[in-house]
Amino acid sequence: MRLTLRGAGGKQTWPSRECGTTEAPINIPGPVLMMRTTLARAPSLPESSPIQKVSSISSKQTSAGAGSASAVSRPCPTARRCRGGPRRPRATRAGTAFASAVSSGRSPSDAVSLPLIDGPCVWRGPELRAAPELWTHRLTASEIAELDAALARARAANLDVIDLTPETFPLPSLAPRLRALRDELVLGRGVYLFRGLPVRRWDRWETCAAFYALGAHMGWTCPQNARGHVLGHVKDLGNDPTDPATRLYTTAAAQPFHTDSADIVGLLCVENAREGGESQVVSTAAVYNALASERPEMAAALLEPFPVDRKGETPPGKKPTYAMPIFHLHPSSAFSSKRDDENPSQSQSYALSGIYDRSFVDAAQKRWSAADGVPRLTRAQIDALDALDATCADDEFRLDMRLEPGDAQWLHNHTTFHARSAYERGSDRHLLRVWVAPENARPLPEAFAERFGELEPGPNRGGVRVEGQTPYCALEPGG
């Protein structure tokens, strides 16, 4: 299905690029702009489904060019599709309807089709493994010297780590790179790796301060647990991973593919385990596309709500569990400002946002009963979760990383899932973590308010927020 958008001649400016069901460059050199949507056929859904059939749009058969997305070393990423993207299935015939998880009221007899996502956030592990220069930067000697100078000024001013901001921790040369990193995460592939932070040379305060300040340059930091940690520690504290109330980052157990409750997560390796503890990342959209194309009934099930536990970290006025789909298709304002001339009422593009943690879904089943208002998972829901996990774990989708001391991994939670393999209990493995809400955060569907609170970009978007919480930076695990 193709949408032809006509405009006045000459160069036109398109809104900032993000992944969605369309593909278009930022700068449009001619009078015609193409957007392209691909469809995958799915079976009918039950009448209770919130997925609504939306009319498809008639098309003209023209083509659009695509280039490659820039690496984060540039001051601003381009808006072109990343090279080496996965082969997209062919569109179904014109006239097929596609599914949208934005409203309800469809007939149970109607067939449903699922839109496929395109753009730089659609990638596969082997492609990125073959081109690490696209998503990796080793800090230069001058950048490290700039961090050292900022640390010296902050220490001389007797600043606490939580007091570090772009104003109190200026980084004249590194700040533009951090803004470009933020843009690459939010608008691009959603994954990046900094290497070479001198954690062996820095003391604990310097390591915590430098990493926290990097996150603060990209946006507002969020509390990560009920205690209010805005600088967190991923470390085995000896907690029981079989206890459904346990958050697995405090254990040495494997963490399944999941998202964190913030737009961006940063993880700095201070020490890794001798064996195990590897990081895995997948493109949410690539996984969704595969399921929508090959097992559409599974993708459709994942667009429906699942009961999720809060593991005791309950915001004021909220219940201890909530309902949340894993996949969210929602209108993308970055694409909907232009309309199809021939079908102005039907021109609509969608973004895909993911929110998932199997351990929180399982915890809701173990800690609560149907009598508590938490429905039991159906066989179809369990099968869909299993299919999702298996696809994420597939070598064709997964990007593996072994983080070494001084490596800082940055991820966009709405467009990637990440996981961690198990490691030996009592190991010295230790990561610092920041959660960041950037000022250019993507629009989110209303359903996310149940987990993210405020949806407008700002200091109160995302994080774990409970009564009586005071945000602070713990310098040591368990602090």
Comparing C-alpha atoms, which of 456, 141, 419, 434 is closest to residue 282?
419
- Residue 21's pLDDT is what? 58
- Residue 56's pLDDT is what? 29
Task: Please check the confidence at residue 62 and state whether its pLDDT lies above 80.
Answer: no
Please give the full DSSP string across 309-324, using - where no structure is assigned.
Answer: E-TT---TT--SEEEE
- Residue 189's pLDDT is what? 98
* Cα gap 66→70, rounded to integer Å: 13
H/E run at residue 282: strand 279-283
Residue of higher predicted confidence among 107 and 479 = 479
Task: Please check the confidence at residue 212 and state whether its pLDDT lies above 50.
Answer: yes
What is the 8-class DSSP label of residue 25?
A: -
* Cα gap 215→266, rounded to integer Å: 7
- Residue 272's pLDDT is what? 96
* Cα gap 176→316, rounded to integer Å: 38
Mean pLDDT of 251-270: 96
- Residue 348's pLDDT is what? 64
Task: Please check the confidence at residue 91 and state whether its pLDDT lies above 70.
Answer: no
* Cα gap 306→325, rounded to integer Å: 6
What is the 8-class DSSP label of residue 85?
A: P
H/E run at residue 452: helix 449-452
Neighbours of 80 (CB within 10 A): 19
- Residue 341's pLDDT is what? 43
- Residue 321's pLDDT is what? 97
Residue 187 Cα to chain centre, angstroms: 11
* pLDDT level of residue 47 (50, 70, 90 thresholds): very low
Task: Tell me the per-residue pLDDT of 394-448, one tens digit each, with 9 for 90 and over.
Answer: 999 999 999 999 999 999 999 999 999 999 998 999 999 999 999 999 999 999 9
Phi, psi of 120 (to 5 degrees): -65, -20
- Residue 90's pLDDT is what? 33
Phi, psi of 417 (to 5 degrees): -110, 145
Residue of higher predicted confidence among 16 and 12 = 16
H/E run at residue 183: helix 174-187
Total residue length of the chain: 479
Q: Which of 88-102, 112-126, 452-466 is predicted most confidently?
A: 452-466
- Residue 175's pLDDT is what? 97
Phi, psi of 191 (to 5 degrees): -145, 135
Neighbours of 8 (CB within 10 A): 7
* Cα gap 234→363, rounded to integer Å: 20
* pLDDT level of residue 112 (50, 70, 90 thresholds): low
Q: Which of 89-98, 226-235, 341-350 is predicted most confidently?
A: 226-235
Residue 306 Cα to chain centre, angstroms: 19
Q: Which of 6-20, 116-130, 251-265, 443-457 has the lowest mean pLDDT?
A: 6-20
Q: Which residues contact 294 (CB under 8 A, 6 or more apart)?
A: none
* Cα gap 121→257, rounded to integer Å: 17
Task: Tell me the per-residue pLDDT of 338-396, one tens digit each, with 9 for 90 and over.
Answer: 333 444 444 568 899 999 999 999 999 999 999 999 999 999 999 999 999 999 999 99
CA dihedral 6, 8, 14, 15 (to 10 degrees): -100
In whole numbers, what is the pLDDT of the chain averaged over residues?
Answer: 80
Is the torsion defined by CA of 15, 463, 432, 400 positive or negative? negative
* pLDDT level of residue 469 (50, 70, 90 thresholds): very high
Task: Please check the confidence at residue 57 and state whether its pLDDT lies above 70.
Answer: no
Strands (E) located in 37-142:
38-42, 52-54, 98-100, 112-116, 136-138
* Cα gap 50→52, rounded to integer Å: 6
Task: Please check the confidence at residue 453 and state whether its pLDDT lies above 80.
Answer: yes
* pLDDT level of residue 108 (50, 70, 90 thresholds): very low
Q: Which of 117-131, 174-188, 264-278, 334-348 has the lowest mean pLDDT?
A: 334-348
- Residue 179's pLDDT is what? 97
Q: How many CA atoms lie within 13 A of 334 on its CB side?
A: 25
Region of residue 95 (phi > 0: left; psi between -120 and 50: alpha; otherwise: beta): left
